[in-house]
Structure 1
């Protein structure tokens, strides 16, 4: 049997201490090595620096970044960081605690919803699947806003499910007498309040994702009568009470323009037009789901087949339909959007995790059909082979580009995990299959935080360059970047930076006769140096990380990793020599 059967359920059910320990093991890796890596410039720097400036400027309504209003997102993600800055001081650890807590909350929410829908084993395995999702592991130290938003969407949908289940069980349609009180009232209020917090995190998208999922569920179940049980008028009042105070305060200070700009550009325009990226095809998220949710994504097909069969048999129709609706709406909605980012579909992973966990966990009388068992075995063999091959490739990459550290053991762990899975597929030992996958992924997550991140830190140049600048900088000096995205410089230097990309902008800076410090790609520097001969001096030269394998191989083959330079229009103090850029 390819399942964890009811004979095993007693291990977890009724054992609160055991549950707490297992959930703690899943959450603990997210709090490991928070102080080691420098800030990630793609997103994290904004959510570390903006709360710091809000504290410095005492501006808790209008977020600021680089000492200018930053209104492309609502403020909840910034507000969550503020108490940690006040308590522990401004640091990247204080900022990252918030993201780690958000990941922990998401894991606990997945457990709670899975347990409420099915049983504690489903909840626990679903939580383990979410905790070992590669995209969540990566984002938990990079993007507070996406982790927070995903947790709020999951919380809102879980509250809706709980309220709906309670109301259905006490509805006159389900019982012979009318209930003496309004069932699920506080769950409904909490549901709308949670949506409001989602709106304060990423805007009206929270209403769309939650509302669309519920609409799909009611459509599948043909239960439009449940709309009357949702107390929509009261819910709208709760939603307005959570959302409107900030928008009213913002309007009082800046008027309508930032509000309309946020709604039009950051919401409608992102859905209907290309803003950040060239348009990706309608099937883009299928490849994202396969990679970002690996290895669990491969089990989605048998999970859907098994869930549909159980649904056709009139078993567990409501929870299965709810999970189907959750996954389908989010995947369809973002597939129709013009702008596509891989992390947009993060909110569907809790539902997918519970659905897959249900595939592995069911009572002994609910056997998989022969075709489903064969499909599971084939998928497990594929996963095992991919683990073995991935371990070999990872070992070759580490041996060629990096050296030393515990990271050299990760390829061995991954390959051995693949061999173990291959043995489980051959012996058809279902109990060990999901546990083996969870074990390999947890160990890989720890290696990522304890070995991989320290290994690549020398190739992340912004923090050491800022330390070099801070050693010599004066208040009247100008600091910034030329064709480099480095928002973390604002956090490390605690001052405004310029961001330029054209030679005429560099000419204007040089004409100011003030000392400038500029971070510039080495490839760009050669062009700028020809335009302004003798006016720029190289102070520092640092290798720059690229995670695109084709570029890494190309640079390594040429014997040249990409570098960035710290240049200035003034020499160092006497007794030190500037670093020469290699040609």
Structure 2
């Protein structure tokens, strides 16, 4: 916890050495958790492969203004993340590793930003723990091992929010400029959702700090705090970052980009008119599994958070002030995306940095007040998880998850051992070694299990589909899909893939001819299971060549 007592020269020298080592050590740990195995599995349909392939098409065609998908202009996302992936391709060449590197490095950078943004308030050790906790959340690790915009967005939003918080307690022009630059880049990465969420968090935080004596004073205090953040200068920075590209994209598409992106994508998702509609409780299991086992600490000291709420008006350099800010931040993201009909696990990723800080605060609160042995029963979750992981795969065998668990038997046995050791340490009230063991096991667990899990998932689910595509390549065949499209097809074939949505389009595809030397290329079609009824579009019939999961490959007569 932060301390106000006088620090001796010897302690100050030790603290300076610790601070000098913390950042490079955190960087090394983060890279070890996120880079090994990043390219050990191919593109994962539909989203990971979409960004890997979309950026590859920009790289191939040298068209860098607008995102592409299946060799056509795609208007659903801004350009920043595609540029980052293209930059990785230019440096490393096209590969799955390079295609995911921007996301993985964004996770690493977010951990560094959490440490840098929290250390003045929480202290070096607690800020380091918060960063390590963030990097060790399974949900964060899974997303950081895929090519998605969400991790880059989270990095930029975290930079902006911690920048604003630190500027309020200790004004500095470089800090506020970097904060608005990050927010502007977040808009270029994902659109207005970033600015809306950040603005809502800051506004609610100001509301909580406001003078409630009367309405006029309430509004005045919010306005004064808002002006402290230099909003007009910030608007200028954000416009300078975004206006050139958004203007060029709008002009190039004759206004189509504005409608497709702002109306269809942003408002459509909020209204539930886009895919991924889920029930209100969707995020409960996501948080339960996506933060395990560190959520055992997060939810164990709610009294510390209640105290932070009561002392929310404390000076900005006090730990409780940052804890309250983190509470507002996390709760707004979780409540907002919980209320929206369209839900994906990736949507709540921006809540992970504040939840990591809250977990670290809770952990250090236990160290401060003692009585850590009260946590000993939580060790049972480790033991139960390990036993379940060993037993379930021998009962249920029809899932890639079961395959992964069978391959990780040794790690599951170690999980049980760690659970027993963790519980015994807590019973002896040895909090420091117990929590060190918890953090180490969480970090090592995601560092091993997440890339292995992705590789197993790829081999079990996606590799058979690639074998289909390899047959298309070997037979030098023409290929189309019915209704549904998969980005990985274009990734392997390096060409546009027709998507047939009507009988007329099917007939036009059959009438096309392609010569392979002196012979006509055969017509192949990939059909998802839900569209097998549409094979009536091909009256001459077809021969089934292979079938895996939802896809069937046909050779048309």
Q: TM-score range by the shorter chain?
A: 0.7 to 0.9
1:386-440 Cα offsets, whole Å, 9 max, x none, are 4334433455369785499953323222222222223233323211333222222
1:46-94 Cα offsets, whole Å, 9 max, x none, are 2112222223332211221112111101000001112221222222221
Aligned to 2:99: 95
Aligned to 1:322: 325
For 1:563 and 1:209, the matched residues in 2 are separated by 37
Q: Is the 8 A contact 1:220 1:321 kept in 2?
A: no
Q: Is the 8 A contact 1:392 1:415 kept in 2?
A: no
Aligned to 1:367: 369
Cα RMSD (Å) of the superposition? 3.1
TM-score, normalised via structure 2 length: 0.84
1:470 aligns with 2:473: yes
1:59 aligns with 2:67: no
Unmatched tracts of structure 2, length 5 or more: 1-6, 211-220, 515-521
1:520 aligns with 2:527: yes
Q: Is the 8 A contact 1:150 1:346 kept in 2?
A: yes
- 1:528 to 1:257, Cα distance in 2 relative to 1, 3 A: closer
Residue correspondence of structure 1 range 157-172 to structure 2 within 5 A: 157-167=161-171
For 1:235 and 1:469, the matched residues in 2 are separated by 53
1:343-399 Cα offsets, whole Å, 9 max, x none, are 1111011111111101222597x426x7xx576444x23533443344334553697
For 2:102 and 2:227, the matched residues in 1 are separated by 37
SS in 2 for 1:32: coil
Aligned to 1:486: 486
Q: Is the 8 A contact 1:481 1:498 kept in 2?
A: yes
- Post-superposition shift, 1:505? 5.3
For 1:11 and 1:395, the matched residues in 2 are separated by 50
For 2:252 and 2:504, the matched residues in 1 are separated by 35
1:271-323 Cα offsets, whole Å, 9 max, x none, are 12332133522x43333222222222343333442132255366644212211
Q: Which moved more, 1:84-93 or 1:143-152?
A: 84-93
Residue correspondence of structure 1 range 325-404 to structure 2 within 5 A: 325-361=328-364, 366-367=368-369, 376-378=375-377, 380-393=378-391, 396=394, 402=403
- Post-superposition shift, 1:482? 3.3
Aligned to 1:215: 203
SS in 1 for 2:76: coil
Aligned to 1:253: 252
Number of equivalenced pairs: 519
SS in 2 for 1:568: strand
- Post-superposition shift, 1:221? 1.8
Q: Is the 8 A contact 1:52 1:90 kept in 2?
A: yes
SS in 2 for 1:537: strand
Q: Is the 8 A contact 1:156 1:191 kept in 2?
A: yes
Aligned to 1:537: 543
1:409 aligns with 2:410: yes
Aligned to 1:419: 420
Aligned to 2:190: 202
Q: Is the 8 A contact 2:138 2:290 kept in 1?
A: yes
- 1:430 to 1:30, Cα distance in 2 relative to 1, 3 A: same
Residue correspondence of structure 1 range 67-466 to structure 2 within 5 A: 67-167=71-171, 184-222=172-210, 224=222, 225-281=224-280, 283-312=281-310, 316-361=319-364, 366-367=368-369, 376-378=375-377, 380-393=378-391, 396=394, 402=403, 407-449=408-450, 451-459=452-460, 460=462, 461-466=464-469
Q: Is the 8 A contact 2:525 2:556 kept in 1?
A: no
Aligned to 1:28: 32
Aligned to 1:173: none
Q: Is the 8 A contact 1:303 1:355 kept in 2?
A: no
Unmatched tracts of structure 1, length 5 or more: 1-5, 168-183, 544-561, 571-583
Aligned to 1:575: none
For 1:252 and 1:72, the matched residues in 2 are separated by 16
For 1:36 and 1:126, the matched residues in 2 are separated by 29
Q: Which moved more, 1:527-536 or 1:422-431?
A: 527-536
- 1:518 to 1:89, Cα distance in 2 relative to 1, 3 A: same
- 1:198 to 1:228, Cα distance in 2 relative to 1, 3 A: same
- Post-superposition shift, 1:529? 6.6
Aligned to 2:214: none
For 1:186 and 1:254, the matched residues in 2 are separated by 36
1:435-489 Cα offsets, whole Å, 9 max, x none, are 222222233223325544444443222323222222232xxx5323236552111
Aligned to 2:554: 567
